[in-house]
Amino acid sequence: MIPAIPAVLPALLQRFDIPGPRYTSYPTADRFVEAFNAVDYGQALVQRKTGVSTPLSLYVHIPFCESLCYYCACNKIITRHHSRSAGYLRYLSREMDLHTQQLGQGQTVTQLHLGGGTPTFLSDDELRELMAMLRRSFTLAPGGEYSIEVDPRTVDAARLRTLAQLGFNRLSFGVQDFDADVQKAVHRIQPFEQVSALMAQARELDFDSLNMDLIYGLPRQSPESFARTLEQVLQLRPDRIALYAYAHLPERFKPQRRIHSADLPGAAAKVAMLAQSLAAFRDAGYVYIGMDHFALPHDALAVAKRQGRLHRNFQGYSTQPDCDLIGLGVSAIGRIGATYSQNAKTMEEYCDHLGQGRLPVVRGLALNRDDLARRAVIMALMCKGQVIFESIEQAWLLDFRSYFATELEQLRDMADAGLLLLDESGIEVTAQGWFFVRAVAMVFDRYLQADRHRAKFSRII
């Protein structure tokens, strides 16, 4: 059980609730450059094949959705024409072939995630085809983590059975909120009874872990309405809960322009919803994994947290070791060795690259030594809430207090505010500081410190 977390003091909120990255990577994806292209990515794949192999993870992006959720900031294509997915699978197959030409057939995969969009937009036959394609190209290791994002409106008991037969052992249900008025305001109607029945059926099928996504700060939400949603969530008792703060950025994400700013809860209401969520999950026996994530003590994520094996990747917190990630599909992001890469963001450009026999990578980044050292510090903060200077010094052959002298000086204000403990041996985030761990990590972000345009990121609370 996590220790009690005090309420956020208004003065701290005003001072440290600032826009900042979520640090699913460092450097963050907005730092990717077009100078890194498919040729550079191909070289990284060759180096992986000839070098010491680290564990491998796969992400497959399915961009299609039948209807638009107004809060959504994902790369998606809204269509009711399910015929479009058949053509998309053919291009995914070509992309896999181009990877196996570089890596060879049968690279062992220990983690697979299907995201979107709506992966369950695909029919059962298309899901079977996709999994057959993946198994032809890669070896899915026994006991690996194989997860899929599920829109409750697109599945029934029979479809859940198909997912289990295909080898998926983890499901993530997109719920966000059970309140009818909130669901109407965000254009996503899915009654509690529907989700409850699906989760019961999923448990009968013996999936290893069931996750539920929630969002606070949505239009027409209030602390009172969200308290009712929390009660319903705890009735269902998912193994994991991901609790996100809604980031209203209509200038960046066109669907959000359909949300009226006047309907959004204020800062005090958002803090109240976060505080009551933390208290409710703690009292129900959930472990606070970090930032957005909670898990029951038996869940693999909580076990990894206890054992110090927690990692963070483009999908959030992970139990898998610090592994390479191949991103497949339009806009998918990957990581191979000391490089990041991203596929073309539009379907037209993605298909054009593959049609010409090229990997669809259009931008990325080759990390330098400073990037790698700072990534180690930031990920230690995000995953463990502490940095031990000696471990960074030994790994990167640097003197921490000298190399990061400016950053350590900046942290003193946070230490004085009670967000962290700072001594000669390291940094430790306090219970209060976990609210603002992104702000702590931002101090070590060399790119962000020189950037005057931080408002492009969501706020911390």
Annotated binding site for [4Fe-4S] cluster: 65, 69, 72
Q: Using CA atoms, how far apart are residues 290 and 435, in angstroms rounded to an integer? A: 9
Q: How many residues does the chain have?
A: 461
Annotation: binding site: 59, 65, 69, 71-73, 116-118, 149, 176, 188, 213, 247, 333
Q: Read off the tokens for 183.
A: 């669901």
Secondary structure of 359-393 in HEC code, one letter for each residue: CCEEEEEECCHHHHHHHHHHHHHHHHCEEEHHHHH
What sign does the CA torsion over 76, 80, 85, 87 have? negative
How buried is residue 11: exposed, middle or buried, by Cβ count under 10 Å (0-12/13-18/19+)?
Answer: exposed
Asked whether the beta carbons of 175 and 212 are under 8 A apart, the reply is yes
194-209: b (≥16 Cβ within 10 Å) or e: ebeebbebbeeeebeb
> Which residues partner with 60 through β-bridges?
114, 328
> Which residues partner with 324 through β-bridges?
56
Can you say whether residue 237 is alpha, beta or left, with left for phi > 0 and alpha for psi between -120 and 50 degrees?
left
> Which residues partner with 287 through β-bridges?
295
Q: Using CA atoms, how far apart are residues 35 and 184, in angstroms rounded to an integer? A: 43
- The residue behind tokens 């208290």 is 279
Q: Using CA atoms, how far apart are residues 96 and 326, in angstroms rounded to an integer? A: 10
Q: Report angle CA 316, 32, 47 to the nearest 5 degrees.
A: 85
Q: Using CA atoms, how far apart are residues 250 and 434, in angstroms rounded to an integer? A: 28
Q: Using CA atoms, how far apart are residues 171 and 295, in angstroms rounded to an integer? A: 14
* Alpha-helical runs (H) found in 241-327: 267-283, 300-306
What is the CB-side half-sphere exposure of residue 149 using CA atoms within 13 A?
21
Phi, psi of 138 (to 5 degrees): -130, 165
Asked whether the beta carbons of 91 and 350 are under 8 A apart, the reply is yes
Annotation: binding site for S-adenosyl-L-methionine: 59, 71-73, 116-118, 149, 176, 188, 213, 247, 333
Question: Maximum Cα–Cα distance for the chain, whole Å?
Answer: 61
Asked whether the beta carbons of 334 and 42 are under 8 A apart, the reply is no
